A and B are shown apart, each in its own frame.
Chain A
């Protein structure tokens, strides 16, 4: 479980996070949603230590990231996997090389064991015959899957995903969402997904944090989101005609109508 308590962060004169607090649970897909510029990426980067907040606490099962020394941070980071928006695969390495990288750096496995583990992870994300391809030879969806395989190679306790569906077609987005959800439940990982994709929100959002102007705007599940009563959240989630219709259908069903 990750707890974020009263985090504040500003860049020059602009306050990006204003006393935000939230809890992200084990074995659940925790989603951070919000408008562009609302501070959700800064929140995620603060949680993984890429940005240092001015105040607050970030507790990984009780261990405060902001009060750790370098050695403790290094140890914690071995428990973290991260999927970046642009996949961030190493261009000079093949798919197998990318997935084996964290194992090479931090595991005590033999070369054969590392290869076996990497191949298992690649298979787990449903990639076939791509082991010896370079990232530039893969499609966006395949790159994301390789990045997921790399992120889970060391059996992380915490998995962070920064906009995993950006740049993907709706079908591939759903596949990636399902994959992340399956992995989360299978390994009991604390997964935190930063997303704009409403399909993800309504599909896999087990614990949703809505960030509004650097503050916690709303917290709930995908089922509670229809009746949040939060205007800013409704404006964000049900902004398109498609999702307005989805909400109407849901409201009618809730009222006992047959749809």
Chain B
């Protein structure tokens, strides 16, 4: 029964994505909505990304200092390990999990409300491909702006470590800077960016799917929003395993 429901949902998701990726009725309208979505989903997320990234950078640096106690371990390990954690996992996977909560629930509730108030039916009656009109700009905006958010997150997380070195005696600032420059592998930045592209697609498409097929009223919109966040979080974690295996082999 569960397998049947899962397969049915996956099939519905594939058909939905097929409808989403059709040519927009008017490119001018699409670009206008694309810019609006970048503003709403991307730029509005910058403060959250900055705040969380700074604190994670601070906590990572302190944790490294507290746990790297062996005298055989050079002190720059604190900066080095902080950088690796931030580049490899935090700025892609953890950040996207956080965005799944903020952006995913926003998308699911917005589209779900449009469904229950018959706004989507109104679009369909007018002859507009509602899935394409509503969802494609969101997916495109998330997939393009996620790179900006990830780079912001990398910079501000490392900046958080920098700050904690200034205001406390975790490690000398010069040692921290040396640590974050040591054995730098540029591929890790690309790895984070590529992973985040997949995650951005999952966040925006899964949330849109749950919102688009809401049936009922306000209660169901809330449920759809929760389901969207839970499902996209699970898919992000699964994809993380697969992509890490493929890209870091």
Contacts and interface: CB of A to CB of B under 8 A. Distances in A.
Given A105-B26, A105-B29, A74 B127 contact: yes
Interface in B19-48: 25-26, 29
Interface range, B side? 10 to 19
Given A86-B117, A86-B118, A77 B125 contact: yes
B148 interface: no
Interface in B80-127: 113, 117-119, 121-122, 124-127
Given A86-B118, A88-B119, A90-B119, A105 B125 contact: no
Contacts, number: 50
Interface of A: 48-50, 73-78, 80, 82, 84-86, 88-91, 101-102, 104-106, 160
Contacts of A76: 127
Given A82-B125, A91-B113, 15 more contacts: A50-B124, A50-B125, A76-B127, A77-B125, A88-B121, A88-B122, A90-B119, A90-B122, A91-B117, A101-B126, A104-B26, A105-B25, A106-B25, A106-B126, A160-B125
A102 B126 contact: yes
Contacts of A106: 25, 126-127
B26 A84 contact: no
A173 B122 CA distance: 22
A88 B118 contact: yes
Interface of B: 25-26, 29, 113, 117-119, 121-122, 124-128
Contacts of A74: 127
B127 A77 contact: yes
A84 B29 contact: no
16 contacts: A49-B125, A50-B121, A73-B127, A75-B127, A77-B125, A77-B126, A84-B121, A88-B118, A88-B119, A90-B122, A91-B117, A91-B119, A105-B25, A105-B26, A105-B29, A105-B127
B118 A84 contact: yes
Contacts of B124: 49-50, 77
